[in-house]
Amino acid sequence: MPSTLTSAATLQRRTMVVLVITQVIGTVAVGVAPSIGVLLAGEVTDNEAWAGLARTASTLGAALIGLPLGNLAARSGRRVALAAGWWGAAVGGALLVAAAQWSLVGPLFVGLLLIGFGSATALQARFAATDLAAPQHEGRSLALVVWVGTLGSVLGPNLGVPGEVVSRATGLTVFASAFLITAICLALAGSLVYVFLRPDPLLVLEESVGAHRVSQSSKRAGRIRLVLTELRTNGYARYALIAIVTAQTVMVSVMTMTPVHVAHQGGSLTIIGVTISLHIAGMYGLSPVVGIAADRYGHRRTIAAGILIFFASLLIGAVIPNDTGWIMASLILLGLGWSCVNVSGSALFAAVVSDATRASSQGGVDALANLCGATAAFAAGPLLAVSSFTVLNILAFIVLLPITILTVTIGRITIAARR
């Protein structure tokens, strides 16, 4: 038994090293979409509305590929699925090089859609971190992979700087050069995970619990139907799913419109940039602490803490919408609330979902969360136009009520160890 435990710990350490390295490289490349991608869309289309759709395109791409990536992992393991996701995003980066160089609208939106594959892959990586983790460390393992994604959010928007160097060396435009770096990084991330994520953590888990037999039966029965059956019969998995989707919907709906609101209040681009940077820090900065808290104090309590933080954020946004300092505080809390609910909900889902549907269900959760996020971002604009930032926060407040009621009524969560 000691040798088995030692072997499992060694495999988990190796898995985490590979995931962390590829997550840093991949998310830096993916982080270019919300900033340089939007600017490129505005330049190529010369239309602000089209530029706004650029963000939706990458989010939609993440939503479309989430479930297929999960099904691919169920069939062939994490290594193949993660590599395919990063490589698909690399193709998107290559298309964006052409779009930027020759102002091509078609490759622009196809490229941004495919870049979204990278976002979905980064999300799948957090679940891969839990496959071989000890039950008492699943939350912190997942949170570490989420946390290193901060580098992508911070460094990705700044690829224009090395893009200028590449531009002078190659003759490409600055935007084309930035996306050339993006494509190379994404291809590298896929290659590293394909070569070094051995043995595959999901296949090792399946072998250890005999899940390969279940996996074969799931192929015959149809994975989507099994996932739906799981969610109908597994109350904890359903609760975790609702928590993840709610957190994404609330966070995206308010965050997407905050720059517009601050600009309407006379805020400068610098103020807007600082506000969003603080929000991102709230989202990712304390995620390892959140993971440890979920492991130590329980998923439900950590989700409850996140809900309370969400309520505080939305209350500030609704009551003091015209004070920039308070809006910054609101966005920090919005990010922290998302971190608590999302990290804890994801760790809970990984812990309670059955081995027969593990990878497919995780892909489905990410697909649904991204789809809800894209819908929230799309709806938030018209809502802000016809109402106010206060109303937007109140509506987000209402969206939180179902998960709040579930958290109060679900009772103590007991998780049986898988390994």
pLDDT of 381-397, one tens digit each?
A: 788 888 899 999 999 99
| pLDDT at residue number 52 | 60
Within this chain, do residues 294 and 225 fall inside the same structural domain, yes or no? Answer: yes
Within this chain, do residues 378 and 402 fall inside the same structural domain, yes or no? Answer: yes
Within this chain, do residues 303 and 378 fall inside the same structural domain, yes or no? Answer: yes
Which pLDDT tens digit goes with each residue over 318-368? Answer: 999 999 899 999 999 999 999 999 999 999 999 998 877 888 888 989 989
Does residue 216 fall inside a structural domain?
no
Residue 22: name the closest of 167, 229, 190 by CA: 190
pTM of the predicted structure, to 2 decimals: 0.86
**Which pair of structure tokens corresponds to residue 262?**
């601050």
| pLDDT at residue number 214 | 47
* Buried residues in 368-382 as b, exposed as e (16+ CB within 10 A): bbbbbbbbbbbebee
| pLDDT at residue number 1 | 40
| pLDDT at residue number 375 | 87
Please say which residue of 159, 186, 209 terminates a domain: 209
Report CA dihedral (230, 293, 370, 15) to the nearest 10 degrees: -80
**pLDDT below 50 — which residues of the chain?**
1-3, 5, 211-221, 417-419
Please say which residue of 144, 174, 209 terminates a domain: 209
Instruction: Decide: 170 and 98 in contact? Cβ < 8 Å.
Output: no
| pLDDT at residue number 207 | 83
Does residue 215 fall inside a structural domain?
no
Domain that holds residue 53: 1-209
Does residue 322 fall inside a structural domain?
yes
